[in-house]
Chain A
Amino acid sequence: MATGLFMWVLEGSTVFDLGLASMLVMFQLAPYILIFLVPAITMRSFSDEKKYGTLELLVTKPVSELNIILGKYLASLSLVIIAILPTLIYYYSIYQLGAPAGNIDTGAMWGSYFGLILLAACYTSVGLFCSSLTENQIVALISSMALCFLFYQVLGLFGEIQWLNTVGKSLRWFGLDYHYYSISRGVIDTRDVLYFLGFSAFFVVSTKLVFQSRKW
Chain B
Amino acid sequence: MSIITKDLCKNYGDQIAVNNLNIAIKEGEIVGFLGPNGAGKSTTMKMLTGYIPPSKGEGSVCGWDIVDDSLAIRKIVGYLPEHNPLYLDMYVREFLEFAGKMGGVSQTQKRVGEVIDLTGLDREKHKKIGQLSKGYRQRVGLAQAIIHDPDVLILDEPTGGLDPNQVIEIRELIKKLGKTTLLSTHIMQEVEAVCTRVVIIDKGNLVADSPIEKLANITGEKHHVNATFGSAINVKELSQLDEVIHVTDKGNNRYRIEVSSAEGRKSISHFALKNNLEVMELSSENVSLEQVFQNLTKHVDHL
Interfacial residues, chain A to chain B (CB-CB below 8 A): 52-54, 56-64, 214-215
Interfacial residues, chain B to chain A (CB-CB below 8 A): 46, 49-53, 71-72, 74-75, 77, 79, 81-83, 85-88, 99, 102-104, 144, 148
Contact status B99-A61, CB under 8 Å? yes
Whether A64 contacts B83 in the complex (CB less than 8 A), given A215-B52, A215-B53, comes out as no
Contact status A53-B85, CB under 8 Å? yes
Q: Which one of B52, B79, B85 contacts A54 once the chains associate, using CB atoms below 8 Å?
A: B85
- With both beta carbons as reference points, the residue of chain B lying nearest to A51 in the complex is identified as B85
- With both beta carbons as reference points, the residue of chain A lying nearest to B67 in the complex is identified as A215
Q: Smallest CB–CB gap between A216 and chain B, Å?
A: 9
Contact status B81-A60, CB under 8 Å? yes
- If A56-B46, A60-B79, A214-B52 are given as contacts, then 14 extra A-B residue pairs at C-beta distance below 8 Å, sorted by A number, are A52-B88, A56-B81, A57-B81, A57-B85, A58-B102, A60-B51, A60-B74, A60-B81, A61-B102, A62-B71, A62-B72, A62-B102, A63-B74, A63-B102
- With both beta carbons as reference points, the residue of chain B lying nearest to A58 in the complex is identified as B102
Contact status A64-B71, CB under 8 Å? yes
- With both beta carbons as reference points, the residue of chain A lying nearest to B85 in the complex is identified as A53
Q: Which one of A52, A54, A58, A60 contacts B50 once the chains associate, using CB atoms below 8 Å?
A: A60
Q: Please report the C-alpha to C-alpha distance between residue A64 and residue B104 in the assembled complex, in whole angstroms.
A: 12
Contact status A61-B103, CB under 8 Å? yes
Q: Please report the C-alpha to C-alpha distance between residue A63 and residue B102 in the assembled complex, in whole angstroms.
A: 7
Contact status B49-A60, CB under 8 Å? yes
Chosen A-B contacts, 28 in total, with CB atoms closer than 8 Å, are A52-B88, A53-B83, A53-B85, A54-B85, A56-B46, A56-B51, A56-B81, A56-B85, A57-B81, A57-B86, A57-B144, A59-B51, A60-B49, A60-B50, A60-B77, A60-B79, A60-B81, A61-B102, A61-B103, A62-B71, A62-B72, A62-B74, A62-B75, A62-B103, A63-B74, A214-B52, A215-B52, A215-B53
Top 6 closest A-B pairs, CB basis?
A53-B85, A62-B74, A61-B102, A62-B75, A54-B85, A60-B49
Q: Please report the C-alpha to C-alpha distance between residue A62 and residue B52 in the assembled complex, in whole angstroms.
A: 15
Q: Name, among A52, A59, A62, A215, the residue most crowded by chain B CB atoms within 10 Å (CB to CB).
A: A62
Contact status A54-B74, CB under 8 Å? no
Q: Smallest CB–CB gap between B183 and chain A, Å?
A: 16
Q: Please report the C-alpha to C-alpha distance between residue A205 and residue B156 in the assembled complex, in whole angstroms.
A: 31
Residues of A within 8 A of B46 (CB): 56
Residues of B within 8 A of A59 (CB): 51
Q: Smallest CB–CB gap between B154 and chain A, Å?
A: 9
Q: Smallest CB–CB gap between A45 and chain B, Å?
A: 13
Residues of A within 8 A of B72 (CB): 62
Q: Name, among A60, A63, A214, the residue most crowded by chain B CB atoms within 10 Å (CB to CB).
A: A60
Q: Smallest CB–CB gap between A66 and chain B, Å?
A: 11
Residues of A within 8 A of B79 (CB): 57, 60
Contact status A53-B52, CB under 8 Å? no
Whether A61 contacts B74 in the complex (CB less than 8 A), given A52-B85, A53-B85, comes out as yes
Q: Name, among A54, A56, A215, the residue most crowded by chain B CB atoms within 10 Å (CB to CB).
A: A56
Contact status A54-B75, CB under 8 Å? no
Q: Smallest CB–CB gap between B132 and chain A, Å?
A: 15
Residues of A within 8 A of B77 (CB): 60
Q: Please report the C-alpha to C-alpha distance between residue A56 and residue B47 in the assembled complex, in whole angstroms.
A: 12
Q: Smallest CB–CB gap between B77 and chain A, Å?
A: 8
Q: Which one of B53, B81, B103 contacts A53 once the chains associate, using CB atoms below 8 Å?
A: B81
Q: Smallest CB–CB gap between A58 and chain B, Å?
A: 8
- With both beta carbons as reference points, the residue of chain B lying nearest to A214 in the complex is identified as B52
Q: Please report the C-alpha to C-alpha distance between residue A59 and residue B46 in the assembled complex, in whole angstroms.
A: 11
Residues of A within 8 A of B82 (CB): 53
Residues of A within 8 A of B52 (CB): 214-215
Q: Please report the C-alpha to C-alpha distance between residue A165 and residue B219 in the assembled complex, in whole angstroms.
A: 79
Q: Please report the C-alpha to C-alpha distance between residue A64 and residue B53 in the assembled complex, in whole angstroms.
A: 15
Q: Smallest CB–CB gap between A63 and chain B, Å?
A: 6
Residues of B within 8 A of A52 (CB): 85, 88
- With both beta carbons as reference points, the residue of chain A lying nearest to B86 in the complex is identified as A54
Contact status B87-A54, CB under 8 Å? yes
Q: Please report the C-alpha to C-alpha distance between residue A63 and residue B99 in the assembled complex, in whole angstroms.
A: 11
- With both beta carbons as reference points, the residue of chain A lying nearest to B78 in the complex is identified as A60
Q: Please report the C-alpha to C-alpha distance between residue A57 and residue B79 in the assembled complex, in whole angstroms.
A: 8
Residues of B within 8 A of A57 (CB): 79, 81, 85-86, 144
Q: Please report the C-alpha to C-alpha distance between residue A39 and residue B86 in the assembled complex, in whole angstroms.
A: 24
Q: Name, among A52, A53, A54, A57, the residue most crowded by chain B CB atoms within 10 Å (CB to CB).
A: A57
Residues of B within 8 A of A215 (CB): 52-53
